[in-house]
Amino acid sequence: MAATNLGSTGAEGAAPARGRKPGPAASAPCVPGAIVPGATPAAQQGAEHVTEPVAYDAILLAGFGGPEGQDDVIPFLRNVTSGRGIPDERLEEVAHHYRHFGGVSPINEHNRELKAALEAELASRGVELPVLWGNRNWDPYLNDALAEAKAAGHTKLIAIATSAYSSYSSCRQYREDFADALADTGLGDVIQIDKVRQFFDHPGFVQPFVEGVRDGIATLLEQNPDLERSGIEVLFATHSIPSTDAAKSGPADRGFGEGGAYAAQHRAVAEVVMREAGADDVAWQLVYQSRSGPPSMPWLEPDINDAIAELPAAGRSAVVIVPLGFVSDHMEVLWDLDNEALETAGEHGLAAVRVPTPGTHPAYVAGLVDLVLERVNGTPVAERPAVTELGPWYDVCRPGCCENVRLGFRPALAGIAP
């Protein structure tokens, strides 16, 4: 169990507050950093979280996809944004981010590396499951992975999407694209696609951030002899999403407070990371990045750059930036954090470090394999590791989960219809 070395909140899945009686959602105080008490701990909710064991015959690694040359940039952006109402200026700006790196996003290479790491981990455990890789928005597409499955005679796929939290963009959109790909390829009657639970609070995903925050704080203190811990703020950064999507994130019947399940999951994980990193005494907040959409549409705030600008007035002289919402150092991390946010920090006289994403960290890779095996084995909910009281999350998304009110209904797999 290489993935579960998070001490008391790890392998046993027993977060300290788990026995607490949940309060009503409506009266939940919106304290930054607090786990919203309106959400009933998953382990107390029982059997609807888990499915019967299934003899899967392949893993489907489902990525976002990214361009791999200048000629790919515009067609890729069209794939991502069709029908989304994103202003042209924003698209030009984003195209420029890719152009700056030769039109190449590192994300496909990350997924090739992750696929190889998963294959090695599976082999070392004697698990004979091939890994097929397909993307939502660029070559190789999900359709290609399904064609590969068909050629090899695989009919029961368990998908790992490279996305940890609940929201339309980070969960349901993957599930809709699975349904589309089965329809496109005419394989809907032949191939079944299930999906591992959202893994935001799986110890394998959380461990790399714990190490990163611990190292980040140590580095700042080493490099700045006059710096005290009270002068440091940890900013947990994730992708902003439209507020309407955030409100619909997670199952419709659980209360999660401001920002829905999406924000609640990030706050809960951040709190665990601070505790496990031995940094309970250091200030932190959840911030958002990479906003798009028209200015008239509300998205989750504060933006990371605005938050950084306020730090000196709060008495901070150093910042640790944690890309908590992302699994690898892709364009959102390289541009919006390493380029923009670090520059903003410099402009405001702040020392700054950026923590690594999970990438192919051994705990993360082992954790993903554990997530597949819990579905193969039908592991009971009480035995599933989860470091927050919000999880372990559902194998099959609940009715109304992560709906999108902007784009209208599309059929999705691995969920219960509303």
Q: Which residue numbers belong to the known binding site for Fe-coproporphyrin III?
A: 105, 174
Q: Is residue 77 close enough to count as binding ligand HT9 by CB under 6 A?
A: yes
Beta bridge partner(s), residue 63: 135
The answer for residues whose C-beta is within 8 angstroms of residue 139's C-beta and 6 or more apart is: 65, 68
The alpha carbon dihedral of 255, 258, 260, 264 has a sign of: negative
Q: Is residue 331 close enough to count as binding ligand HT9 by CB under 6 A?
A: yes
Q: Is residue 167 close enough to count as binding ligand HT9 by CB under 6 A?
A: yes
Site string for ligand HT9, 99-118 (x = CB under 6 A): ------x-x-----------
> Contacting ligand HT9 (CB under 6 A), which of 135, 163, 265, 388?
163
Of 394, 151, 164, which Cα lies nearest the Cα of 268?
Answer: 164
The residue count of the chain comes to 418
Choose the binding region for ligand HT9 from 124-132, 252-260, 288-296, 355-363 (rule: CB under 6 A): 288-296
Q: Is residue 248 close enough to count as binding ligand HT9 by CB under 6 A?
A: no
CA 172 – CA 411 distance, rounded (Å): 10
Using H for helix, E for strand and C for coil, what is the string for 77-107?
HHHHHCCCCCCHHHHHHHHHHHHHCCCECCH
> Contacting ligand HT9 (CB under 6 A), which of 51, 79, 81, 379?
81
Choose the binding region for ligand HT9 from 176-184, 266-274, 328-336, 358-366 (rule: CB under 6 A): 328-336
Task: Say how many CA atoms lie within 13 Å of 8 toward its Cβ.
Answer: 7
Q: Is residue 265 close enough to count as binding ligand HT9 by CB under 6 A?
A: no
- Identify whether 16 is preceded by a cis peptide bond (ω within 30 of 0): no
> Least distance (Å) from ligand HT9 to the CB of residue 91?
6
Q: Is residue 335 close enough to count as binding ligand HT9 by CB under 6 A?
A: no
> Least distance (Å) from ligand HT9 to the CB of residue 326?
6
> Contacting ligand HT9 (CB under 6 A), which of 248, 266, 330, 361?
330
CA 260 – CA 402 distance, rounded (Å): 10
Choose the binding region for ligand HT9 from 35-43, 286-294, 384-392, 393-401 (rule: CB under 6 A): 286-294
Instruction: Using the minimum distance from each CB to ligand HT9, give the nearer residue, 169 or 185.
Output: 169
Please report which residue ranges of 284-396 form alpha helices under DSSP H: 304-310, 331, 342-347, 362-377
> Contacting ligand HT9 (CB under 6 A), which of 176, 332, 370, 374?
332
Beta bridge partner(s), residue 132: 60
CA 130 – CA 148 distance, rounded (Å): 11
Q: Is residue 325 close enough to count as binding ligand HT9 by CB under 6 A?
A: yes
Q: Are strands 131-135 and 156-161 parallel, antiparallel or unpaired?
A: unpaired
> Contacting ligand HT9 (CB under 6 A), which of 2, 34, 86, 179?
86
Q: Count of residues binding ligand HT9 (CB under 6 A)?
A: 24
DSSP conformation letters of 369-384: HHHHHHHHHT--GGGS
Q: Is residue 237 close enough to count as binding ligand HT9 by CB under 6 A?
A: no
Instruction: Using the minimum distance from each CB to ligand HT9, give the nearer residue, 167 or 285.
Output: 167
Tokens of 121: 């981990």
Whether the Cβ atoms of residue 402 and residue 167 lie closer than 8 Å to each other? yes
Whether the Cβ atoms of residue 196 and residue 129 lie closer than 8 Å to each other? no
CA 203 – CA 131 distance, rounded (Å): 22
Instruction: Using the minimum distance from each CB to ligand HT9, give the nearer residue, 283 or 368.
Output: 368
Tokens of 27: 């009266």
Site string for ligand HT9, 26-65 (x = CB under 6 A): --------------------------------------x-
Q: Is residue 135 close enough to count as binding ligand HT9 by CB under 6 A?
A: no
CA 390 – CA 15 distance, rounded (Å): 10
> Least distance (Å) from ligand HT9 to the CB of residue 355?
17
> Contacting ligand HT9 (CB under 6 A), which of 4, 111, 169, 388?
169
For ligand HT9, the binding residues (CB under 6 A) are: 64, 66, 77, 80-81, 84, 86, 90, 94, 105, 107, 163, 167, 169-170, 239, 241, 290, 292-293, 325, 330-332
